[in-house]
């Protein structure tokens, strides 16, 4: 489980890189379920946890909101993040 995600925050731009995928946002508070850092996505205006593969906010409830309507259930799918192979 330890090696599945390589998460880095860029110093020169407001992006987080997860397994080589660049995501607009920043590393945020700990996930309440697994205690790993969550990531805030500018695009979806929501926090998510790659370890749990969940969004930490429900959708905004506005049925006309295209961002929520197009937000996949899985953040890994939303950002096309592929898990790294575990070693050992
Ligand atoms: Zn989590
Ligand atoms: Zn919305």
pLDDT in tens, the chain (88 residues): 567 999 999 999 999 999 999 999 999 999 999 999 999 999 999 999 999 999 999 998 898 999 999 999 999 999 999 999 887 7
Calculate how far, in angstroms, residue 51's C-alpha sits from the geometric centre of ligand 1. 5
Calculate how far, in angstroms, residue 45's C-alpha sits from the geometric centre of ligand 2. 8
Domain spans, the chain: 7-78
pTM value is 0.90
Residues 10, 88 contacting (CB under 8 angstroms): no
Calculate how far, in angstroms, residue 58's C-alpha sits from the geometric centre of ligand 1. 15
User: What's residue 71's pLDDT?
Assistant: 95
Calculate how far, in angstroms, residue 73's C-alpha sits from the geometric centre of ligand 2. 13
Calculate how far, in angstroms, residue 33's C-alpha sits from the geometric centre of ligand 1. 5
């Amino acid at each position: 489980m330890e090696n599945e995600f390589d998460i880095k925050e860029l110093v020169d731009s407001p992006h987080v890189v997860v397994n080589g995928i660049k995501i607009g946002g920043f590393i945020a508070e700990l996930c309440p379920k697994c205690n790993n850092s969550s990531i805030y996505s500018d695009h979806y205006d929501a926090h998510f946890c790659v370890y749990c593969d969940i969004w930490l906010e429900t959708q905004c409830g506005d049925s006309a909101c295209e961002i929520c309507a197009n937000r996949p259930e899985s953040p890994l799918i939303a950002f096309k993040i592929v898990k790294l192979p575990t070693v050992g």
